[in-house]
Amino acid sequence: MLFQLAIGDAYGAGFEYASKDFVAQHNNLERYISHPKHRQLPGTYTDDTQMALAIAELLIEKSPWTKEVIAQKFVDVFKRDPRKGYSQRFYWFLREVKDGSEFLARIDPRSTKSGAAMRAPPLGLLKSEAEVLAKAEFQARLTHDTPEGVASAQAAALTAHYFAYGLGPAEKLGRYLSNQVPYRYAWHKPWRGKVGPSGLEAVHAAVYVLSRESTLAGVLRETVNLTGDVDTVASIALAAASTTRDFLRDIPEALATALEHSTFGANHLQKVDRALSQLLPLRAQSSGEITRPFYREVIADKLRVVENIEHGQRIISECPFCDAEDFSIGAGFYKCFSCGKVGNAITFLVEVMKMPQDQAMDFYKKYM
């Protein structure tokens, strides 16, 4: 997650608010680009990754979720590795404050910009939607204590959660967020135009691209094509897409290998990613896929099989939703070609067997 987030951040940083002509000329995913105005070494990540790394480390350390602890972590990750990319005002603020207490005493939290959203994706790996929403809101209020700032953080975290836990197909992500995020916002509507600095815009644009693309390279290319605050959009989108096998993992090798190798660069991010995957109850990479044991022990006796294809590699059965003999199970997922229902092991437990989501996730763990 963090490794891909950083690639999106570092690649997008070369195009942040650049002209359409510049983006059209250079957005080919062949290499990291020097920004036409900013002085940032190509392949280095910015505040998006550094703040997400702070949240990830708090989760791994199982730190108390208090204002003081979170603020101290924000200060610590900046002080150990000061870097550009923050707004000028926040950059100098972090340089000046000595610790988390001073951070809280001096911060003006009335922002609607994207800072709380850009650091929220690791929270999506938490088990329950309620905890994702609560922790995303809590950390947002330290710096973005506005309805828009909180909502954008919650939506960014839930976007990662949606894919990590296989809650549905990409095209239904927007509807999911419109139903789950308390703040009323039409996440499911198409995004139009340049992405501005607000958190709502950044997440909305990320959701739009995720609902239309099926590869990590496509997600990265199309987020940058939007123009505007594209490093944040790319960070949020790639972080979420990297948690599922629904997106082809085709990030160009040139970008993966050229990401910075500083003390807190690529190797450190991958180390943190490994810790996250071990810490959390359902590994992001499993994506709730229908394994053979799960099919044999859970699904087989619930369906009337019509046809086995390629020695059971794909099963055609009667659909439990519409009764049409057009329900296909293969490659870890199911799809009905009549009613359009798509899902995985977890959605089968929830929608067909009527199991509460938390119980379904616990039940599925033995089939991972």
Binding residue ranges for Mg(2+): 46-48
3-class SS string, 161-183: HHHHCCCCCHHHHHHHHHHHCCC
C-alpha 120 chain-centroid distance: 8
CB atoms within 10 A of CB 237: 34
List, in sequence order, every residue forming a beta bridge with 153; answer none if it has no partner.
Answer: none
Q: 3-class DSSP state for residue 96?
A: helix
Instruction: Spell out the residues 6+ positions from residue 254 whose beta carbon is closer than 8 angstroms to its own.
Output: 29, 30, 31
> φ, ψ for residue 329 (rounded to 5)?
-120, 120
What is d(CA 100, CA 94) in angstroms, rounded to the nearest whole number?
10
Binding-site annotation: residue ranges: 46-48
Residue 315 · residue 329 · CB < 8 Å:
yes
Residue 321 · residue 328 · CB < 8 Å:
no
> φ, ψ for residue 110 (rounded to 5)?
-90, 35
Q: Which two tokens stand for residue 192?
A: 């139009």
E strand segments, 273-341: 305-309, 314-317, 327-330, 333-336
What is d(CA 48, CA 85) in angstroms, rounded to the nearest whole number?
8
Residue that is written with structure tokens 């828009």 in the block: 148
Q: Which two tokens stand for residue 253?
A: 């090798």
